[in-house]
């Protein structure tokens, strides 16, 4: 460690896993993006508290890493929910009622685009296109595509996910 700095006390950050990832790239700071991708694969996001640790290990500034993480849309600074909801807002979906579907998701889960429910069950993202224009409006939840949505159908789908999760917990 440079300058005998001590690791951050952040609890849930898997330092051993991050060290292994950095080691896979031989600590090469030119591999920042794939290192961050692997960290996100490991944790589901790139923790803000871990950025300083990675910066120290790669001997680059934390500002540089933070700049990369905030520039590229693929990176997340917050954990995501168990179920990722992606709502298409492309032209066809927009014209066919994506705004109503967004409203139903917001009403049902009390979150907006870019947010995660407090229980960690759902993260809601609005995306530019899912590629199912003829099936609009469309959302994808955990890889499952739901097409020709109405607000009522959307609420029903979300309640089914909630019921399945409640059954697992009992």
What is d(CA 57, CA 35) in angstroms, rounded to the nearest whole number? 11
- Which residues in 46-78 are b (16+ Cβ under 10 Å) and which e? bbeebbbbbbbbbeeeeeebbebbeeeeebbee
List, for residues 49-85, the tens digit of each pLDDT value. 889 999 999 999 999 999 999 998 789 888 889 999 9
CB 49 within 8 A of CB 69: no
Domain ranges of the chain: 11-71, 83-169
Q: What is the pLDDT of residues 126-156, one digit of tens each?
A: 999 999 999 999 999 999 999 999 999 999 9
Answer whether 158's CB lies under 8 Å from 144's CB. no
pLDDT above 90 for 99: yes
Look at residues 133, 54, 35, 120 and name the one whose alpha carbon lies nearest to residue 92. Answer: 133
Asked if 57 and 19 count as a contact pair (C-beta separation under 8 A), the reply is yes
Q: Report the C-alpha gap between 69 and 76 in whole angstroms.
A: 7
Query: What does CATH list as the number for 83-169?
Result: 3.40.30.10
- Which residues on neighbouring strands pair with residue 116, listed in sequence order? 123
CATH code linked to domain 11-71: 1.10.10
Q: What is the pLDDT of residue 6?
A: 30
Please provide the average confidence, as pLDDT, over all residues in the chain.
89
């Amino acid at each position: 460690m440079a300058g005998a700095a001590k690791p951050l006390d952040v609890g849930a950050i898997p330092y051993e896993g991050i060290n292994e990832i950095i080691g896979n790239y031989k600590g090469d700071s030119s591999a920042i993006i794939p290192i961050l991708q692997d960290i996100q694969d490991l944790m589901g996001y790139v923790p803000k508290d871990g950025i300083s640790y990675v910066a120290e290990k790669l001997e680059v500034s934390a500002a540089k890493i933070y700049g990369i993480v905030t520039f590229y849309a693929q990176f997340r600074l917050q954990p995501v929910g168990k179920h990722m909801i992606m709502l298409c807002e492309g032209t066809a979906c927009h014209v066919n009622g994506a705004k109503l579907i967004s409203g139903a998701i917001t009403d049902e889960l009390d979150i907006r685009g870019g947010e995660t429910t407090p229980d960690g069950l759902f993260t809601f993202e609005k995306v530019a296109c899912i590629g199912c224009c003829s099936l609009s409006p469309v959302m994808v939840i955990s890889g499952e595509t739901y097409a020709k949505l109405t607000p009522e159908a959307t609420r029903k789908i979300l309640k089914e996910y909630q019921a399945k999760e409640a059954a697992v917990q009992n």
